[in-house]
Structure 1
């Protein structure tokens, strides 16, 4: 049996424009989902009526790092997500567009996945909400990234 994910958005707040799944095709059958959504009223009423506010939501469940050899597999999974998002943006001419990465990352701020995403200009909303800095690496093991 393969991996599964649920990404739910409230239909009164978001309209789903497109959906893509990403299969990692590696050990653990891990997957990711990409949702291209648009904000709908009342959120869109705050903006110019001619401007659509769209964003990408990526949900994933990364492999758990049972041992250090799995760090490369996890980095490869995240790299595939970033490539998939960039390819999707290019295909639909979506630059710039907000991106939210969420899900079960099975990692910490000290891990390679976290550091890689930070290098890709993502920020941890968990860190921002708790006013954590890189010096607080021991405090948080849950994170969601936004670009």
Structure 2
């Protein structure tokens, strides 16, 4: 009887712990700003200028994801030209974001930011390679 009770308690304990784990999810603008502040040693003025840029970037990404989900659910696949246009739009937005950030950061911070961005891009490429395998 004690063994059965112990097993039941353990099953419930593992079930609740497994459900309590947080999902990865996408980082919020606040988390991104905190991370940038730590990595780049941002001033208060820089933080106040970067914060709206991060919110705008997240809003753009969410809109693009919603559009992609809607087209996927409708069963319509984008043509090669549409995919190229979407990629170009994304690249333009990324370049505009980086230009805005560059105007806010000082030289030392900019070098560090570019290094971090390059590492993040490489990490993303590696993840995509692993996903395709």
TM tier, smaller: 0.3 to 0.5
Q: Calculate the TM-score normalised by the size of structure 1.
A: 0.35
- Structure with a larger share of its residues in helix: 2
Q: Calculate the TM-score normalised by the size of structure 2.
A: 0.38
Q: Which has the higher contact order (CA 8 A, sep 6+)?
A: 2
